[in-house]
A and B are shown apart, each in its own frame.
Chain A
């Protein structure tokens, strides 16, 4: 009961002022002191030990000037103490104070002058707190900034600081020199003013991704515009500095001069291209030599060995009938040999790179030339030939070779006509992407591609031995088409005719 009464009394009456003050000064992190006008401590709040290491009784009668950092005593005297005594208000001072453990801590004080209402005596009132942690952080920041500035300006690598808008806030010697400018000429420019338009799109794309917060840095190779107007290659790395909300504040760009390397790269690439072209041309030549080797062994050696055999038999023979028979064979073989030789010469002419000069060739004109050549055969077979070259008028090819292909395909169609139906041949041209295609179809006996598909373009002994046409063989056609970047395909079913599809390159650098 008594206890309850006591607490009720406390609640209604409240704590005495002295007790509240005591609580405040023990719990609070503020060191509250009262000083004589010369600074001597009259009162020091009981929490002093927690803040500056000294108990209040250790300081009473002492002067704070004994604890100030020697470098700041005069500063405090002039900037805080005297103005305070003159009656100036809002004096806040920041200074170093010797902690009892021997280190200096940073204190920040709010000071005021109080005048005793009755005695008129002046006292100084200070309320201080330890701000060492904050100061140290700031000092580190300032130091970091100084270091950064030194590094920034003395760096051998070009460095640029731009704001979010893309204008250059700061640049260093290395970057300015790289572009042939003075520092001050570069500052204030928008980065696009000194960038080449090549690849600028990529640059802006990355910058945009940074702005959106997708990425924090990027590296690209880009070209800047030197003061002289020429383009210079650089390797650029951009790092973004964001605020707490993630918005970019600054972009730090590091620019490394790679102009020499790029020049060498280009040279190297050109050399490499030339080398590759040379290699390709050697490979092509090698393939051609192999093809000739085949042609020579199959198409010259075979008739020559036949000649030899026939002559040997003739020498042995003593019957006129037999000799006559051998003679007629000799006639055939000789004719065949002449054909093969003339074909080979034609081929060699076409294969000769000086001879094979691709040019825009009018398809219709070439086809008509071939029709005229084979007119007799077409008439005697009563074949019907339709052509339509309105889809694409020209191919970029050799006129001679195009005619050779037409001659060969027409010859094939006439030779492999189906005896049970009228031979129809249809030739058309049409564009396919950047290429021009020509399709050549007939309704002849066709080819069983299931069985012979892989052989149709190979060199065979059916090298027109019994044909009047001067064809080169499908294999040479295929080979030639491929060597200039085109191709030839066949589609066929036995009894349904055949379609040859030729794709001619738009322009060809092969050769």
Chain B
């Protein structure tokens, strides 16, 4: 089964490289891409009961304009309990600030924290969470 991957990040170059890393890893499934966390949230609202449309894993950037990763998680956490399937979430950031990692550790929804740059190894490690 090919995992469905969702990437939420406003950095276009990161989007480009991440998509490439995913396809180079042999995942043929289209990546759900969002530059804006609010658009992503709208999508999850709209497709909250649509098992086929919902991703299996989300790579969420913390630092975005308007709605940042934390705010997205707040809103997302209110609707995710009704989803027809579990979704794994990884935070992705260039920040090595302990305040961010500590905060992430306190949120049960989050499976892990990935420091940029995003690599094939980091992708495969996080996808391993889907098997368990």
Contacts and interface: CB of A to CB of B under 8 A. Distances in A.
A297 interface: yes
A294 B96 CA distance: 9
Contact of A302 (B18, B24, B66, B94): B94
Nearest to A298: B63
A451 B24 CA distance: 39
A159 to B, nearest CB: 65
Interface in A289-323: 293-294, 297-298, 301-302, 305-306, 308-310, 312-313, 316
A308 B13 CA distance: 11
Given A297-B97, A302-B94, A305-B94, A460 B63 contact: yes
A122 interface: no
A306 B117 CA distance: 7
Contacts of A293: 97
B42 to A, nearest CB: 14
A305 B117 contact: yes
A462 B35 CA distance: 12
B17 A461 contact: no
Given A306-B117, A312-B119, A297 B64 contact: no
A452 B71 CA distance: 11
Contact of A310 (B17, B65, B68): B17
A333 interface: yes
A310 B18 CA distance: 10
Given A309-B21, A309-B117, A461-B11, A301 B96 contact: yes
A294 B10 CA distance: 17
B63 A301 contact: no
Given A452-B66, A460-B65, A461-B10, A309 B95 contact: no
B115 to A, nearest CB: 8
A310 B68 CA distance: 25
B14 interface: yes
Contacts of B63: 298, 460-461
A460 to B, nearest CB: 5
Contacts of B14: 302, 305-306, 309
Contacts of A329: 13, 16-17
A455 interface: yes
A26 interface: no
A56 interface: no
Interface residues of B, number: 23
A148 B109 CA distance: 85
B116 interface: yes
Contact of A301 (B17, B24, B64, B116): B116
A306 B65 contact: no
Contacts of B68: 455
A294 B97 CA distance: 8
A306 B13 contact: yes
A302 B119 CA distance: 14
Contacts of B65: 460-462
Interface in B46-101: 63-66, 68, 94-97
B24 A298 contact: no
A460 B11 CA distance: 12
Contacts of A313: 17, 20-21, 24
Contact of A308 (B18, B66, B117): B117
A332 interface: yes
Contacts of A301: 94-96, 116
B44 interface: no
Contacts of B116: 301-302, 305-306, 309
Contacts of B17: 306, 309-310, 313, 329
Given A306-B17, A325-B16, 12 more contacts: A297-B95, A297-B97, A298-B63, A298-B94, A301-B94, A301-B95, A301-B96, A309-B116, A313-B20, A451-B66, A455-B66, A461-B63
Q: Which 4 A-B pairs have the closest CB atoms?
A: A305-B117, A309-B17, A305-B116, A301-B94
30 contacts: A294-B95, A294-B97, A297-B94, A297-B95, A298-B94, A301-B95, A302-B94, A302-B116, A306-B11, A306-B17, A309-B13, A309-B14, A309-B117, A309-B118, A310-B13, A312-B117, A313-B17, A313-B20, A313-B21, A313-B24, A329-B16, A329-B17, A333-B13, A451-B66, A455-B68, A460-B65, A461-B10, A461-B11, A461-B63, A461-B65
Interface of B: 10-11, 13-14, 16-18, 20-21, 24, 63-66, 68, 94-97, 116-119
